[in-house]
Structure 1
Amino acid sequence: MSATEMESPEFLRISLAAAMTLGMRPGRFYRNARLECINLLMTYKEGCAANCAYCGLQRLREGTYDKKSFIRVPWPVVALEEIITRCESNPEVKRICLSMITHGRAVKDAEIILQRLHQGLPQVPLSLLCTPTLLRREHLEMYRAIPVERLGIAVDGATPEIFDTFRGKGVKGPHRWENYWDLFQEALGVFGRDRVGIHLIVGLGETEEEIIRLMDRIRKAGGSTHLFSFFPEPGSKLQGRPQPPASQYRRCQLARYLIDQDLAGVEEFSFNQKGQIVSFGLSPEELERVVASGVPFMTSGCPGPDGRTVCTRPYGDCAPGEDIRSFPFQPEKEDLEMIKKQLASYWTE
């Protein structure tokens, strides 16, 4: 079957990690990581109309859409019905997340796909990573009625200037900062508190203070933050940009956890002249307990029935190896020793 015929809603791209989890692709996860959320991506021969500078799916990147990598790995194209069949027989699947792309058919096709997923897998909660550029409140209400349980919005850039430079006018892209935040407010009204997550990327040129203040704003509004470390995509406009220092990401992870768990807010934090966080507003004993749990440094995302994050996205923002950015499993003793050193290193940066 040609790529032209293998389009959504009948076909979807599936993450390599999800394909491995469902037995569609061979492979083993480094350090026996697990994935319990099946990540799906809509697919069309024309590809995505956006041109985000860090994304492997950007419109002006060379190659046909079906051959473009996303998050540095291939995403195989698979029939929706096969995905449903595989999920039915796999008790590891605790959630399914559908990601929209910027395409004229995506709004209606997302509804069709989500309805079919719910019909075939009524016990599996659904998440939608949406494209605010295409949506209005009535679309959110339509998805919620299916029911989509949680909504994700990938803002990514932590300031209006960064967003516009890498997603908007700076790359001749269709996305606008104001539209994303307008839809966030609408989504809170439709889905409710704690059911809307904002994706943010550390390392696009923002200060720690800027991204942490945005996380605090999101939480106070009723949302949560799903945090990523920038990881350059080969072939993208930002392929030569380095990852942020691990210490910078660790501090942002810790601040995110404290904010989203309602343990502290930006008014308790202190920042230095470089915009780096130097105090988290907790006593040394309290902070040590939080860090020692390891949880702040694990992948942040949608939960399963027991409240644990199941969208672990193994190695989605780093290569498997010593420099794990978002741990897809509980950090071990050696990991925590490294994390503590990274957190402390800001004193010498």
Structure 2
Amino acid sequence: MPETIRVSYGTAIAMGLIRAKLLARPTTAYLMTYWPGRCSNDCAFCAQARSSRADLEKLSRVVWPAFRLEEVLEGLKEGNFARICLQTIDYPGMVEDVFDLLEAFSDLKLPASVSITPVDSETLERFKELGVDYIGVGLDVASERLFKEIKPDLSWEEVWDFAERVVDVFGHGKALIHVIVGLGETDRELVDTVIRARELGADLSLFAFTPIKGTRLENMEPPSLERYRRIQLAEYLVSTGKEDAIVFDGDSIKGFRLLEDEVAKIPPTVFMTHGCPGCNRPYYNERPGKEPYNYPFPPRREDFEKALKFIL
């Protein structure tokens, strides 16, 4: 049984493990497997990558301090969380650690999600037996032409095959394919990825690229908020069977062909965090004080209408 586990900074505050102010309370407990070294994979955007010089406590822009597992299990009882989300990095014995951690969480009776690199169906079945109901699939790169350059240790089809196995074991909508907007992909590649995920029976979770000092992509710029909002709306239109309303100019989204009553039906959730039930992932991609790429809670009506008008 692992003695140590990483906890996202906001989750640690909600648990009472750190004394600090919370601007947006996480509704899910975000945890990460502990390993004293770096991940064996070398994803170009990731602070945990084997060639990264970034702080080992970081994942995206969030700090994940390490705590004793006993403390975290007690904190989970007090945190009023809707679920547990366990992030993993690759290292020898990682899958066995995940089994042990899920066993330790089982008495809490909380639904659990696991974000993991491709594993076989037998492992997925074991996760299911241990209370996991959603799996995060780290495609990340929505472009086959860029995939190997950014994620050299995996192949494009290997990740899609894994997503298909997750759907086979857990059911429709239980594979959450993670996609990072802003890695050099085109809008058309993003939309094609969303369509493929939907056709597979998977769901999608959008992230905005966050440059982290010490990673291979530290000098790349994050996507503009306008582009990100267009992709969020495009994802919603695909999910509701209205992808024909997306208007392209070459490989870029030019606009949307929507009637007034269709615009009126667009829900504020379009610009919120999209993930497993109970996931709000506050400030994962942006600093507090700025308009978030993914709102952790429903935006005010005026903010939503302003954002929508900005891209229509």
TM-score above 0.5, yes or no:
yes
Alignment correspondent of 1:347: none
CA RMSD of aligned residues (A): 1.8
Higher strand share: 2
Deviations 1:213-233 (A, max 9, x none): 211111121110000111111
Alignment correspondent of 1:26: 19
Alignment correspondent of 1:176: 155
Alignment correspondent of 1:269: 246
CA drift of 1:341 comes to 4.2
Alignment correspondent of 1:223: 202
Candidates 282, 292, 297, aligned match of 1:324:
292
Alignment correspondent of 2:182: 203
Deviations 1:280-334 (A, max 9, x none): 5x422212331xx31100111110xxxxxx2211111111123311111111134
Q: 1:161 & 1:80 partners in 2: Cα distance? A: 41
Specify the SS of the correspondent of 2:227.
helix
CA drift of 1:239 comes to 1.3
Say whether residues 1:279 and 2:256 are aligned partners.
Answer: yes
Q: Is the 8 A contact 2:47 2:53 kept in 1?
A: no
Q: Is the 8 A contact 1:207 1:276 kept in 2?
A: no
Candidates 102, 107, 112, aligned match of 2:100:
112
Candidates 265, 289, 298, aligned match of 2:265:
289
Matches within 5 A, 1:227-238: 227-238=206-217
Matches within 5 A, 1:26-105: 26-30=19-23, 33-62=24-53, 67-90=56-79, 92-105=80-93
Q: 1:283 & 1:145 partners in 2: Cα distance? A: 46
Q: Is the 8 A contact 2:48 2:89 kept in 1?
A: no
Specify the SS of the correspondent of 2:132.
coil
Query: Given residue 43 of structure 2, which amino acid in structure 1 is its aligned partner?
Result: C
Candidates 226, 230, 237, aligned match of 1:247:
226
Q: Is the 8 A contact 1:209 1:277 kept in 2?
A: no
Q: Is the 8 A contact 1:208 1:277 kept in 2?
A: no
Report % sequence identity: 32
Structure 1, unmatched stretches of 5+, are 1-7, 169-173, 304-309, 345-349
Deviations 1:141-200 (A, max 9, x none): 1111112111110111001122211111xxxxx222221111111111000001111000
CA drift of 1:338 comes to 3.5
TM-score of the two chains, using structure 1 as the length reference: 0.85
CA drift of 1:113 comes to 0.7
CA drift of 1:277 comes to 4.7
Candidates 92, 104, 116, aligned match of 1:130:
116
CA drift of 1:89 comes to 2.5
Specify the SS of the correspondent of 1:149.
strand
Q: 2:140 & 2:197 partners in 1: Cα distance? A: 13
TM-score of the two chains, using structure 2 as the length reference: 0.94
Query: Given residue 95 of structure 1, which amino acid in structure 2 is its aligned partner?
Result: R
Q: 1:259 & 1:35 partners in 2: Cα distance? A: 28
CA drift of 1:337 comes to 4.2
CA drift of 1:93 comes to 0.6
